[in-house]
């Protein structure tokens, strides 16, 4: 089979309709980065296993795997955030796998407790602020809801998986009642209705539309590394806060991957996941896409390093983000966080 990189469509349907051949692995991925091509090319060179990749949004891929059923050619499902991969888990689309390499390279809190998926890279979700307009920025996620910041906060919509997992983590730590009060406080403090992606929240600080924003680290690092319209030229005016450093630490989003329940090439799928957790691949995640490695000893790239050191939340089980996902969405709906 010829290596594939395409969105869902007729080409992909035809290409993956044929029976799986030996020495190949079919990856359903919601990552849309050209840098991943380099990862897969290096894997093929090292192992002789061809990578056939289908790209689409996480929900589309889950629906496709459900429709394909036992005949699905998917070997690996890869997506951003535990909340997304949990949807595949809940639908019975993943199977447990055993790997001494994964267990050695990926910390336990970044893996599923029953080995249904593993984390591969990380992005911290932190607080940014306008240096010239905010003298005392919030130092914790909880403080974002303080009335002192009324009319200052920009953050994405409640449909965003990053925010769903953040609220789920607050439910896990502080309970549902406190989580609802927090969400109400955020809504009261909004500078504008939730809109756009993480880069748009940072642009809001540059433009003066908001004074405080919540975003993932790699969006800021991209602004440092290159010319991001509406961000890079004003990025020197943005300060950052690593939240909850005196407590649980900063909330982290994961890129995670698991082996499909009906994987025709399970051995090759396991080999791919092991490669992605290796030092060479972890360096690629760090250097090409400004992500934090999951493998200890691999340094972030220079722009991420420039953001400083921080304590990550390693005590809140990442699997709990999925456990509380429905409750988090119900809270968002109840408080009017669109």
For 215-259, how does the pLDDT look when each residue is reduced to its tens digit (9 = 90+)? Answer: 999 999 999 998 899 999 999 999 999 999 999 999 998 999 999
Residue 33: the pLDDT is 82
Residue 317: the pLDDT is 81
The Cα 230–Cα 252 span in angstroms is: 26
pLDDT confidence bin for 175, thresholds 50/70/90: very high
> With 50 as the cut, is the pLDDT of residue 5 above it?
no
Orientation of helix 198-207 relative to helix 217-225, angle to 10°: 60
Residue 14: the pLDDT is 32
123-250+317-335 maps to CATH 3.40.190.10: yes
> What residue segments make up the domains of the chain, in order of their start?
5-122+253-298, 123-250+317-335
Question: Across all residues in the chain, what is the average pLDDT?
Answer: 91
Per 3-state DSSP, what percentage of the chain is helix, strand, and coil (rounded to 5)? 45, 20, 35
Residue 256: the pLDDT is 95
- For 5-122+253-298, which CATH superfamily applies? Periplasmic binding protein-like II (3.40.190.10)
Cα dist from 262 to 19, 40, 197, 312, whole Å: 13, 22, 34, 35
The mean per-residue pLDDT over the stretch 156-165 comes to 93
Nearest to 258 by CA among 127, 120, 154, 152: 120
> With 90 as the cut, is the pLDDT of residue 303 above it?
yes
Intrachain domains 5-122+253-298 and 123-250+317-335 with the same fold: yes
> With 50 as the cut, is the pLDDT of residue 13 above it?
no
Q: How would DSSP label each residue in 28-77?
A: EE----THHHHHHHHHHHHH--EEEEEE--HHHHHHHHHHHGGG----EE
- CB of 260 within 8 A of CB of 93? yes
Tokens of 191: 């500078």
pLDDT confidence bin for 7, thresholds 50/70/90: very low
Predicted model pTM: 0.86
The mean per-residue pLDDT over the stretch 297-320 comes to 90
Residue 142: the pLDDT is 97
């Amino acid at each position: 089979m010829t290596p594939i990189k395409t969105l869902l469509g007729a080409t992909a349907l035809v290409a993956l309709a044929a029976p799986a051949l030996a020495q190949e692995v079919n990856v359903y991925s919601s990552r849309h980065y050209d840098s991943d091509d380099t990862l897969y090319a290096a894997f093929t060179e090292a192992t002789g296993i061809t990578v056939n990749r289908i790209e689409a949004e996480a929900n589309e891929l889950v629906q496709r795997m459900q429709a394909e059923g036992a005949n699905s050619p998917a070997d690996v499902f890869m997506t951003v955030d535990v909340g997304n991969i949990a949807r595949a888990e809940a639908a019975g689309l993943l199977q447990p796998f055993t790997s001494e390499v994964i267990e050695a390279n990926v910390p336990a809190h970044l893996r599923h407790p029953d080995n249904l998926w593993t984390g591969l890279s990380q992005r911290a979700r932190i607080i940014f602020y306008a240096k010239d307009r905010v003298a005392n920025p919030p130092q914790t996620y909880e403080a974002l809801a303080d009335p002192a910041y009324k009319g200052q906060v920009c953050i994405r919509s409640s449909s965003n998986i990053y925010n769903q997992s953040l609220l789920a983590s607050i439910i896990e730590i502080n309970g549902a009642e406190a989580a609802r009060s927090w969400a109400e406080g955020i809504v009261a403090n909004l500078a504008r209705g939730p809109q756009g992606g993480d880069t748009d929240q940072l642009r809001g600080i540059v433009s003066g539309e908001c004074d405080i924003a919540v975003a993932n680290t790699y969006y800021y690092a991209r602004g440092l590394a290159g010319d991001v319209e509406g961000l890079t030229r004003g990025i020197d005016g943005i300060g950052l806060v690593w939240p909850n450093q005196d407590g649980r630490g900063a909330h982290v989003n994961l890129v995670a991957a698991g082996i499909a329940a009906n994987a025709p090439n399970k051995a090759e799928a396991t080999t791919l996941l092991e490669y992605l957790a290796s030092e060479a691949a972890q360096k690629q995640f760090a250097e090409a896409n400004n992500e934090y490695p999951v493998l200890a000893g691999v340094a972030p790239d220079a722009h991420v390093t420039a953001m400083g050191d921080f304590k990550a939340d390693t005590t809140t089980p990442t699997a709990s983000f999925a456990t509380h996902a429905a409750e988090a969405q119900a809270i968002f709906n109840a408080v009017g966080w669109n």
